[in-house]
């Protein structure tokens, strides 16, 4: 019986803890070559991030940085770009410099107003490189570039979610019959 209770508790905890996402930006199908990423895309706030169709400028870092589909994200005007939302983990992404080699991009993870992680990458414009960050339990990412624009694809994030109260109630009532249940011992 203890095993059943433990298993049910584990299922509930797994459901509550994380929701995995790889953001490929491939659900954009704009007739334009560039589109601003709108507020609320994939559950996040996006500031100064846009998507670019790789076929518009072949042979650039935008093209090389697109590892899935036809679209990649980039920082508009080479300025700082932000992603924010409720608590999440940032595992990594593919990056290239859009135009120039030796582009230093600093990524900072925040928890509230406190910078809790910071990593600088040196990007080239000829091939996408996967960078692992492992920034845990943050609510904002800042991307700053030293040498104009960078391209980013297959952003891997785990966003913490809590089910609606109705879901919690349903789960609790589903295990209610098992609470306190004991098998009767039979004696001969």
Q: What pLDDT does 13 receive?
A: 47
Can you give the pTM of this predicted structure?
Answer: 0.78
Q: What pLDDT does 110 receive?
A: 98
Q: Tens digit of pLDDT for each residue in 41-77? A: 999 999 999 999 998 999 999 999 999 999 999 999 9
Q: Tens digit of pLDDT for each residue in 73-109? A: 999 999 999 999 999 999 999 999 999 999 999 999 9
Q: What pLDDT does 78 receive?
A: 93
Q: Which residue, 162, 168, 148, 42, is CA-closest to 97?
A: 148
DSSP code string of 59-83: TSHHHHT--SSSEEEEEGGG--EEE
Q: What pLDDT does 184 receive?
A: 53
- Sign of the alpha-carbon torsion through 127, 28, 147, 104: negative
Q: Which residue, 39, 31, 42, 38, is CA-closest to 154?
A: 42
| Cβ within 8 Å of residue 62, ≥6 positions away | 52, 54, 56, 72, 74, 96, 98, 151
Architecture of domain 2-172: Sandwich (2.60)
Residue 47: Cβ-neighbour burial (10 angstroms; 0-12, 13-18, 19+):
middle
Q: How many CB atoms within 10 Å of residue 12?
A: 17
Q: Flag whether pLDDT at 16 surpasses 60.
A: no
Report the chain's mean pLDDT, rounded to a whole number.
Answer: 84
Q: Flag whether pLDDT at 151 surpasses 50.
A: yes
């Amino acid at each position: 019986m203890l095993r059943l209770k433990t298993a049910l508790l584990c299922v509930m905890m797994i459901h509550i803890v994380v929701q995995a996402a790889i953001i490929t930006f491939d659900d954009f199908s704009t007739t334009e070559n560039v589109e601003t990423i709108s507020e609320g895309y994939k559950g996040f706030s996006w500031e100064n991030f846009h998507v670019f169709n790789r076929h518009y400028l072949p042979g650039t870092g935008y093209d090389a940085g697109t590892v899935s589909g036809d679209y990649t994200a980039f920082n508009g005007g080479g300025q700082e770009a932000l992603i924010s939302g409720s608590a999440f983990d940032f595992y990594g992404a593919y990056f290239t410099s859009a135009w120039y080699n030796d582009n230093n991009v600093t990524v900072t993870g925040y928890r509230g107003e406190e910078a809790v992680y910071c990593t600088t990458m040196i990007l080239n414009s000829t091939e996408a490189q996967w960078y692992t960050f492992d920034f845990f339990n943050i609510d904002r990412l800042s991307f700053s570039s030293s040498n104009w624009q960078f391209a980013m694809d297959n952003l891997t994030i785990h966003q913490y979610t809590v089910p609606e109260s109705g879901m919690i109630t349903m789960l609790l009532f589903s295990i209610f019959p098992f609470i306190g249940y004991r098998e009767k011992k039979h004696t001969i």
